[in-house]
Chains A and B, each alone.
Chain A
Amino acid sequence: MMVWPMVVAAVVSAVCAVVGTMLVVRRMSLLGDAISHGVLPGIVVAVLAGGRPGGMLSTVGAVAAAMLTVWAAEAIRRRARLSEDAAAGVVFTTFFAAGVVLISLYASRVDLDPGCVLHGILELAAADTVPLLGVAVPRAVVNGLVALAVVTVFLAATWPAQLFAAFDADAARVVGVPVGFATTGLLAMTAVATVASFEAVGAVLVVAMLVVPAATAELLFRSLGRVMAAAVAIAVAAAVAGYLAAWRWNTTAAGMIAIVLGLCYLVAVLAAADGGVIPRLAGKGWLAWRVACEDVLAAAWRREEAGGNAAATPAGLLFRLAGSWLRLRGKVEGPTDRLALTDAGRGEAETIVRSHRLWEAWLGRNVELPVDHLHPPAEWVEHYLGADVRRRIEEEVGPASSDPHGREIPTERG
């Protein structure tokens, strides 16, 4: 295994993650896609003119081509009344195709591999070295670090404008924040990041590095600074992991890195504490369990009130499990289908029934419903009322009153 290709991958991933964060939070991922493809003819022309991929000349070419892509897409959208995504789609695929055609036309004169365009060749990018402090450092690492510095300095210089323009461009424009400059600059930085990554990961897979780390980080964090820091961390980790996996299975490193990024995103979608699939399911399950336990307790309280000969404990697997759990906690006792409250369980049960009857009383006063329609909504709402709201409801319906069925509402316990 070689270390330098891994360093190349980590550096370009970091650059892309920084720029990509701004694109993703501005909902401009599509423009990132367009730019990363649109730069190709710019790079090819620069190489034809004697530049090297990743060098100064091709950076200039790439930025020019990127600006042309964005401008053309915008112009088409306005004139042809095409939607934004369709306009961008038309333009960047055409630009990209032009780049591919140029490469094959001048194959003998252009030092660009079609495979390089598709997924880059990390080992090749790492093989071209320059001496730096006595160490042979891959040119791609130097280029990547320079790009990282340029991008970071630009964003730092324009940070308030970037933030304001990203969140609320109209209000920013009114007070004179340079929204246009911030946006154009961001697009140019996207081109810089793309051209720095081009040799290592190609024009196609660079999209993954722009978009996926930021999209993943956005699921996990709620402040822009943290999203960006997390995006960089995810990008670098995925670069290292992807490179190691590619080395282990002897396949393309860029492809493997993109797959690792995709997996990171999947994990974030499943596990994000706030709205992730797993926490949501867990929340639903926990709620169902709480409701079942409370229903068992309330049924036992009602039977006690009616002198022991009213309805049985609710049937069903969940209720039986809930009953067993409550018995274990010492809140109920007796036969499974006729559970009775212990002193420890009575207070909790009473609170549920109190919530139920208070809500029936409130509905009876405020909503035109026949009396026999009041039970189902109360059966549902009883599990959600806290002490404060119960007190407010009681204030409204009057203390020590009875529910619309004429049954007494238990008083609040201390």
Chain B
Amino acid sequence: MTAIVELHDVTVAYGRRPVLWNVDLAIDEPCLYGIIGPNGAGKSTLVKAALGLVPLSGGSVRFFGRPLDDVRGRVGYVPQRESVDWDFPVSAIDVVLMGTFHRLSWFRRPGVRERDTAMACLDRVGLADVASRQIGGLSGGQQQRVFLARALAQEADVYFLDEPMAGVDAKSQERILRVLSELRDRGSLVVIVHHDLRTAASWFDRVALVDMRLVAAGATAEVLSRENLARTYSGHLDLLDEIGRAMQTGRRTR
């Protein structure tokens, strides 16, 4: 059986200094796959290398046994939230529509079908009511969910998400995790870069532990020998957040 994603002896260097050494990694079946490691371990670089966004100093990457160029529409990418300019003048639905762009030919604009798809995807992440809002006005968690909706609209078979849970409120985290699990259940592979060991243990089916090299990969329980369960939030943060925002705008809370 050919692997969904296969990295063969991948090395990435910035200048001449390798930041990722000889990674050999194959993911065979649909699952929630965590790429775990400390800050600066090269997790994001590993994903970018797999997606051809940074040049490889050595090694090769295959998707479904073929080079990425042959299967581009089947692979989706959600970069780190900070990597884009959220003041960009587009609404949430416009961003989600971008997920359909690779299916459009020249001179074509997204039509009714694409709009319906985009709206359904926004609804799946619970943001149908902010569809026409400019993205800069959304909270961090909502922005991340807009990104996720764009990936859904692409209808890919493999998704790479870079730190989708970073700086995201508990409610958004839960929603994101649920949608990602649904994707897996429908047969997609979901690869998630994540830095928090406590939550990794409970979220992912399989993980790869990365620290400039591949330390270990496999079933989560085996790779992460100690389990720390996620601390439950008490809701105080929600309340303080809401009041803080009210104070910022000078208006009252609801």
Q: Which residue numbers of A lie inside 8 Å of B, CB to CB?
A: 25, 27, 156-161, 163-164, 166-168, 170-177, 218, 221-224, 226-227, 283-284, 286-287, 366, 381, 384-389, 392-393
Contact = CB atoms under 8 A, between A and B. Distances in A.
A175 B76 contact: yes
A164 B79 CA distance: 13
B196 to A, nearest CB: 23
B77 A157 contact: no
Given A283-B250, A389-B253, A160 B110 contact: yes
A385 B251 CA distance: 9
A386 B253 contact: yes
Given A168-B84, A287-B250, A224 B101 contact: no
A226 B52 CA distance: 34
Interface of A, helix, strand, loop or mixed by DSSP: helix
Given A160-B110, A163-B90, A171-B78, A366 B254 contact: no
Contacts of B252: 384-386
Given A160-B109, A175-B73, A170 B101 contact: no
A223 B76 contact: no
A164 to B, nearest CB: 5
Contact of A157 (B48, B73, B106): B106
Contacts of A172: 98, 101
A-B pairs with the 5 shortest C-beta distances?
A176-B72, A222-B134, A386-B252, A174-B77, A160-B101
Contacts of A386: 246, 252-254
A414 to B, nearest CB: 18
B246 A175 contact: no
A107 B243 CA distance: 69
B51 interface: yes
Given A167-B88, A167-B98, A170-B48, 17 more contacts: A25-B88, A158-B106, A160-B109, A163-B101, A164-B98, A171-B150, A175-B75, A175-B76, A175-B102, A175-B154, A222-B89, A222-B136, A223-B94, A224-B88, A388-B253, A389-B253, A392-B239
B102 A167 contact: no
Contact of B89 (A27, A157, A224): A224
Nearest to B87: A218
Contacts of B75: 174-175
A27 B85 contact: yes
15 contacts: A160-B109, A160-B110, A164-B98, A174-B160, A175-B72, A175-B75, A175-B77, A222-B89, A223-B89, A223-B90, A223-B91, A224-B89, A287-B250, A381-B247, A388-B253
